[in-house]
Amino acid sequence: MGFQRGGESNYMVVKDGWKLVIPYTISSTVINAMYDLNSDPYEMNNLLGSNPDRANHQEKAEELRSCLLEWLAKQNSIHYYSVSKRDLLNGGKPTGNNAAFVSHSLPELIPGETVSVSVTMKNTGTTTWIKEGNFKLASQSPAKNNTWGLDHINLDEGESIPPNTEKTFAFDIKVPDYDGTYNFQWQMIQEAEEWFGKKSEIEQLINGDPGSYLDDCDEKTDWKSSQALKLNTIDQKQGSGCVEYSGSGTDEYKKIFSTPHNSKVNEANGALRFWYYVSDPAMLSDKNQVEIGSSGKADENEYNWKLSGLTEGWNFVSLEISDAGKMGSPNLSAINWFRLYNKKSGSILSKIDAIQIVDKTITSTRDINRTSAESTFNIYPNPLSGNFLSIDINGFDAFNKVDVRITNLLGQTVYRNAMQNTGYSAIDVSAWLKQSVYIVTVKSGQSVISKKLIIE
């Protein structure tokens, strides 16, 4: 008797001249197969699968599966439960996992506060959700994000959610208080097997400065495609519009940016994020690709990814630079190329919006440690002769308020304000600053920086 976890995609059991192959996960594209190696050494005839006599082989298949289960139990494998429930006669599919979003309740999302929320899902499949089966509610957009302080909620020990019943997951979240755009969205998952069912309705929280966009898709200027693109100003996810495609041509969205975009990220911390609407993902081949680059064209100094797991409607796509295919030496400080393209088996409607290259470590975790060496601020114009002094504040601890103080040369404070670290502020100084020299001090946490301001 032998076991093997074959490649990435299946388990194999060989015993007494019989061989059973079971997909490693539910979502694998490999189907269940069993061969009688004594009479069929070249594995030409799958006795399960579409074999009309497959029911006659159930007993043998179950015997081999129980050997596999014994082994998985010893390994303490997370796949034990799922493998024990697979329908061996029907290719291991359909899985029977499905869910409908019923409702959620959430109070106002106040940055920095802990609030109680709930998400209700209905089991519309044929499997029963239990903790032992690794059924959970988990965060989406992006998948398994930790924005709200937790990325999943377990069922209770002994709890059972059979088909056609609802489950309300009630839990506390910590609302992020740092700048950015955050999505509150959840979906059922059978851990290590598959995401399934409808995602919860998305709620967005925008704090302070959401960060710059590679393209906010509020205009279709310079966007090219195999079809005529439209500007959609009704169904956008951000700003005043999104760019819309309809047709069956391969090139969907491509753009050469006349001004290169400095993403300020590196390969280790960067992620490409955007919203992508697809009317019918089944029309897309699995070659669906997206790429960014710094040569103003395809296949030269580019990062590329395959898109997968798209669902009908809007998808929040999050792709890590560290997972990308790479051609040449793309320069993340000068991105000037974006393309999304795909072969299609029919006509689709798609939309794209809010393309960002972000530091994923800032939007996915609270553990931000920016050194004070990176903290800077600029005041301008300086010397100042008008009414408004502009301040740009960068790199201070995003969790603390930034204390801005202006003192005269006698050390007396003439202006003081605690600002959120929103980057840019304009202060009306006309009422209280006379022609003189002042000191502007910006302080947050351990970082203190002072600069001289001249009023003319």
What residues numbered 240-299 form the site for Ca ion, per CB under 5 A? 291, 298-299
Site string for Ca ion, 71-110 (x = CB under 5 A): ----------------------------------------
Q: Which residues contact 216 (CB under 8 A, 6 or more apart)?
A: 238, 239, 353, 354, 355
Tell me the three state secondary structure of residue 75: helix
How do strand 325-327 and strand 302-306 relate by DSSP bridges? antiparallel
Mark the segment that binds Ca ion (CB under 5 A) among 159-167, 169-177, 226-234, 237-245: 237-245
Does the protein bind Ca ion through residue 359 (CB under 5 A)? no
Question: Which of 139, 145, 236, 315 forms a contact with Ca ion (CB under 5 A)?
Answer: 236
Does the protein bind Ca ion through residue 353 (CB under 5 A)? yes
Does the protein bind Ca ion through residue 238 (CB under 5 A)? yes
Report the residue number, 240 or 446, with the smaller CB distance to Ca ion: 240
Mark the segment that binds Ca ion (CB under 5 A) among 46-54, 87-95, 346-354, 380-388: 346-354
Q: How far is the CB of 308 from Ca ion (least distance, A)?
A: 16
Question: Which of 193, 216, 244, 397 forms a contact with Ca ion (CB under 5 A)?
Answer: 216
Lookup: tokens for 451:
């600069």
Q: How far is the CB of 280 from Ca ion (least distance, A)?
A: 23
Report the residue number, 274 or 438, with the smaller CB distance to Ca ion: 274
Does the protein bind Ca ion through residue 219 (CB under 5 A)? no
Q: Are 48 and 33 in contact (CB under 8 A)?
A: yes
| Residue type at position 383 | P
How far is Cα 253 from Cα 176, in angstroms, rounded to an integer? 32
Report the residue number, 236 or 363, with the smaller CB distance to Ca ion: 236
Token pair 């979003």 is found at: 101
Mark the segment that binds Ca ion (CB under 5 A) among 54-62, 85-93, 179-187, 302-310: 302-310
Q: How far is the CB of 120 from Ca ion (least distance, A)?
A: 31
Question: Which of 161, 175, 217, 433 forms a contact with Ca ion (CB under 5 A)?
Answer: 217
How far is Cα 397 from Cα 55, in angstroms, rounded to an integer? 65
Report the residue number, 284 or 384, with the smaller CB distance to Ca ion: 284
Q: How far is the CB of 214 from Ca ion (least distance, A)?
A: 12
383 upstream amide cis, omega within 30 of 0: yes
Lookup: tokens for 265:
């990220």
Does the protein bind Ca ion through residue 239 (CB under 5 A)? yes
What is the size of the binding site for Ca ion (CB under 5 A)? 11
How far is Cα 110 from Cα 369, in angstroms, rounded to an integer? 23
Q: How far is the CB of 291 from Ca ion (least distance, A)?
A: 5
Compute φ and ψ for 171, nearest 5 degrees. -160, 165
Mark the segment that binds Ca ion (CB under 5 A) among 10-18, 46-54, 353-361, 371-379: 353-361
What is the Cα 244 distance to its own chain's centre?
A: 22
How far is Cα 98 from Cα 104, in angstroms, rounded to an integer? 18
Q: Which residues contact 35 (CB under 8 A, 6 or more apart)?
A: 18, 19, 43, 45, 46, 47
Mark the segment that binds Ca ion (CB under 5 A) among 230-238, 305-313, 359-367, 420-428: 230-238
Does the protein bind Ca ion through residue 159 (CB under 5 A)? no
Does the protein bind Ca ion through residue 68 (CB under 5 A)? no
Report the residue number, 314 or 396, with the smaller CB distance to Ca ion: 314
Pick from 101, 279, 97, 271: which is nearest to 185 by CA? Answer: 101
User: How large is the C-alpha radius of gyration of the chain?
Assistant: 28
Run of H or E including 125: none
Q: Are 121 and 99 in contact (CB under 8 A)?
A: yes
Q: Distance between terminal CA atoms of the chain?
A: 90
How far is Cα 170 from Cα 442, in angstroms, rounded to an integer? 41
Site string for Ca ion, 381-420 (x = CB under 5 A): ----------------------------------------
Position closest to Ca ion via CB: 239
Question: Which of 215, 218, 244, 397 forms a contact with Ca ion (CB under 5 A)?
Answer: 218
23 upstream amide cis, omega within 30 of 0: no
Q: How far is the CB of 353 from Ca ion (least distance, A)?
A: 5
How far is Cα 42 from Cα 403, in angstroms, rounded to an integer? 75
Chain residues binding Ca ion by CB under 5 A are 216-218, 236, 238-239, 291, 298-299, 304, 353
